[in-house]
Structure 1
Amino acid sequence: MAKRDYYEVLGVEKNASADDIKKAYRKKAIQFHPDKNPGDKEAEEKFKEAAEAYDVLSDAQKRQRYDQFGHAGVGGASQQGGGFGGGMSMDDIFSQFGDIFGGHFGGFGGFGGFGGSSRGQRVNRGSDLRVKVKLNLKDVANGVEKKIKVKKDVQCKTCNGSGAEGSDGLKNCDTCRGSGYVTRVANTILGQMQTQSTCPTCHGEGKVVVNKCKACHGEGVVKDEEIITLNIPAGVADGMQLSMSGRGNAARHGGVNGDLLILIEEEQHPELIRDENDLLYNLLLTVPQAALGTTVDVPTVDGKAKVKIDPGTQPGKVLRLRNKGLPSINRYGTGDLLVNVSVYIPESLSASEKEVLTGMDNSPNFQPNKSVKEKIFTRFRNMFD
């Protein structure tokens, strides 16, 4: 696919000044920034395309070669001048051109944020929102979709986030002349020293609101409620924090939205105990069940599972039900359900029950009365019914 004309990409004329090119790129970068267009591959490509165009047109020598020879004249830029050539990563874009945004973009997921210089017009970033979501073990095992209603700052629809009313509601800041920063020169014993700082009038934005929007009072954001769909993956754990990029509070004056941070709270299961991806269950058997063997039901995340108890099963034995635990959040496997066997010993016995047990203890050939034996076994089996 043929590359588009760089002037067309930025929306400027071929005789555009360096300042016009810089402003045009800043506008495009904000429009197609990944945090404002999460998951949008087309926007990501346009973001990279704008960076590539700015890399060439902002450099006087590269621009001259491009004007004379077109794309062929800057084809080696990625090797010779640090250009993008369509193949550079987001980190490269942010590190090379972060000063255009004043270094005020911070903590963008996956890209490391804009770093370095504090020069340039400031782009506001909305604050993050934090919500708590309660999940039961079934939600954790299978993943779940939840809808939540959050109160947040949203972009004002009346002024489209600019904070200004009408096309003439904004103007360049007189203090910094639209640059977003001011330069001061001080005389010291070492000579003149020059410092740059954020403009105190426009707070680094380069623009000031002349006529404030009546709906948002010049802020560019208003309070509203939004229903957000959360897709919680299987395998999350209590205390884990998930993030949804760009779903937090909207920023003043058309900046980049904050993130939505989701804190997981896991509800305690009445019978199962979680141990990372494994589940633990304490199975309580009567003496006859452990001695004679039986089949019992044990709880699982999705219902019940039948477990065979072999005759002569000893207290403390652990039965493993493979893949009946919880999945790894990275889908690398599923834990097991571990059934710990305990045997209940009655605290008091009737005279007839003592007779049977004493006989069993002292004489292997002792055969108690049939009715007494049935009575004891029935009592043991029904101990927890």
Structure 2
Amino acid sequence: MSRTANVTKLDYYEVLGVERTANDQELKTAYRKLALQYHPDRNPGNPEAEEQFKACSEAYQVLSDPQKRAAYDRFGHAGVNGGGPAAGGFDGSPFGGFEDLGDIFGDLFGFNVGGRGSRGGNSRVQKGRDVRCDLTLAFEEAVFGKETHVTIHRREACGDCNGTGAAAGRGPVTCGQCQGRGQVRYQQGFFSIARTCSACGGSGQVISDPCPTCRGDGRVDKQRNIAVHVPAGVEDGTRIRYQGEGDVGRFGGPAGDLYVVLSVQPHKFFERDGNDLHCAIPISFPQASLGTELTLPSLDGEVRLKIPEGTQSGKEFRVRGKGVPHLNEHGRGDLIVQIVVQTPTKLSKVQKELMRQLSDSLTVENTPTSRSSLFEKVKEIFS
């Protein structure tokens, strides 16, 4: 009974070829690789390359912006108003998100062209990686929400060196190769090229005596219990993001995020379609013919359902407000009950005689009909 929506745009993460947990640096690396590959200047007269370039630029414009990415993760393309060039801010310039060719070369190969100055600053600073945790929920817990805890393993600042990576009392020292500037500058013809210092990684400092606890990394592994709020109405595969709860960044860099990925167990007879719940219930031929009143289970108590006389197999009845709560909104979906009239397979002699008497008293037009008409009737019943 599930219904699939038409997909008109590719997933932004698939366009860039990255995981949904990719950090900023992974997004930037993937984007710039694709931008160099598909840029129109490198593919003159190739409309497919131009479309690929626009697609990856659009994807990066959204995913590199924390607010737009959060909206896209939650609502898809609708959360960023289609995410097109007008919405995403792609300006159509030769290199989209890059300022010029030297900007690309500088980031990819570690040098700046044309005297643009240092781009890295303290490039030794690194953002922490995101952490993923899987949480399995019962069907009812996904419908009504849950407060729980998850246990995660993440990297936190080393207490012995306060995250510096250097032994206690020592600290980093000025890099002798770049004299603390983080870059080594070369003159080549008309260009002044500044290359990231290979000795200090661009930080301008090196650790001569590393901390024995973290071995110079500045971080250690820790186990933590994190409180998780599961809102009512979540679906299987929903990701809940907790900003700053991932690995701590190195050398003062920002922490990554925690993503709690939900897995919802199936119900024994309810099937979910959006915010509606579906189930089928068998009734006998006399109940369908004469009508009856049924007591049905729901996720929050029993409900009464009146079946009118003459109900046909496949007929659906809607019980308002007994479905799944709308996520972060008011209201609930409905419970949709499909009637299935069962034909008895074993009858006693008395029952058979009664059925014969009933059959003789009933008038049924056994008139042939076209297969297409019959198919349409069956399709009406089960659609």
TM bin, normalised by shorter chain, reads 0.5 to 0.7
User: Quick one: which of 124, 127, 138 aligns to 2:126?
Assistant: 124
The verdict on how the C-alpha distance between 1:142 and 1:310 changes in structure 2, with shifts beyond 3 A counting, is: same
User: Residue 243 of structure 1: SS of its match in structure 2?
Assistant: strand
What SS does structure 2 have at the residue aligned with 1:254?
Answer: coil
CA separation in 2, counterparts of 1:234 and 1:179? 53
8 Å CA contact retained: 1:121, 1:179: no
Q: CA RMSD in A?
A: 2.7
- Distance, in Å, in 1 between the alignment partners of 2:195 and 2:240 is 35
SS at match of 2:190: strand
SS state of the match for residue 357, structure 1?
helix
2:266 pairs with one of 268, 279, 287: 268
1:157 to partner: Cα distance: 1.4
**What do the CA deviations read for 1:99-154 (whole angstroms, capped 9, x no partner)?**
xxxxxxx9573287999764321221111111211122222222212211112211
Q: 2:184 aligns with which of 146, 160, 182?
A: 182
Following superposition, the deviation at residue 309 of structure 1 comes to 2.1
Q: Map of 1:151-190 to 2, 5 A cutoff?
A: 151-186=153-188
Please give the per-residue CA displacement for 1:241-282, whole angstroms capped at 9, x wherever unaligned: 221111111222232111111222111000100111111011
> Mapping of 1:1-385 within 5 angstroms?
107=64, 109-110=66-67, 118-122=119-123, 123-186=125-188, 191-331=189-329, 333-363=331-361
CA–CA separation in structure 1 for the residues paired with 2:65 and 2:141? 29
Distance 1:159 1:355 in 2: 92
Partners of 1:332 and 1:176 in 2: CA distance:
60
SS in 1 for 2:347: coil
Change (3 A) 1:204 1:108: farther
- Provide the rounded CA distance (Å) in 2 between the counterparts of 1:275 and 1:169: 59
Contact residue 137 and residue 301 of structure 1 kept, 8 A? no
Task: Say whether the 8 Å CA contact 1:121–1:181 is kept in structure 2.
Answer: no
Report if aligned partners of 2:131, 2:257 keep a CA contact under 8 Å in 1. yes
TM-score by length of 1: 0.61
SS at match of 2:67: coil
Alignment coverage as a number of residue pairs: 257
Is contact 1:109-1:245 (8 Å) kept? no
Contact 2:167–2:211 under 8 Å retained in 1? yes
Deviation at 1:313, TM superposition (A): 2.2
The C-alpha deviation readout for 1:192-234, integer Å capped at 9, x for no partner, is 3233343212223332222222221111111121111111222
Seen in structure 2, the aligned counterparts of structure 1 residues 128 and 108 have a Cα distance that, compared at 3 Å, is farther
Which has the greater radius of gyration? Answer: 1
Kept in 1: contact 2:231–2:328 (CA 8 A): no
In structure 2, do the counterparts of structure 1 residues 206 and 306 end up closer, same or farther at CA, with 3 Å as the change threshold? farther
- Report Cα offsets for 1:155-213 as digits up to 9, x if no partner: 11122211122343212222333333333322xxxx33233343212223332222222
SS in 1 for 2:246: coil
Cα contact 2:178–2:204 (8 A) shared by 1: yes
Q: Which moved more, 1:177-186 or 1:262-271?
A: 177-186
CA 337–176 in structure 1, closer or farther in 2 if over 3 Å, else same = farther
Change (3 A) 1:162 1:309: same
- Which whole-Å CA distance do the structure 2 matches of 1:320 and 1:351 have between them? 39
Match of 2:211, SS state, is coil
Partner deviation per Cα, 1:319-362 (whole Å, 9 max, x = no partner): 11111111222415421111111111112322221111110111
Comparing 150-159 with 335-344, greater Cα deviation is found at 150-159
Contact in 2 for aligned 1:155/1:254 (Cα 8 Å): no
Query: Which SS does the other structure have where 1:253 is aligned?
Result: coil
4+ residue runs over 6 A deviation: 111-117
- Corresponding residue number in structure 2 for 1:40: none
Structure 1 residue runs without a partner (length 5+): 1-34, 36-105, 366-385
TM-score normalised by L of structure 2: 0.61
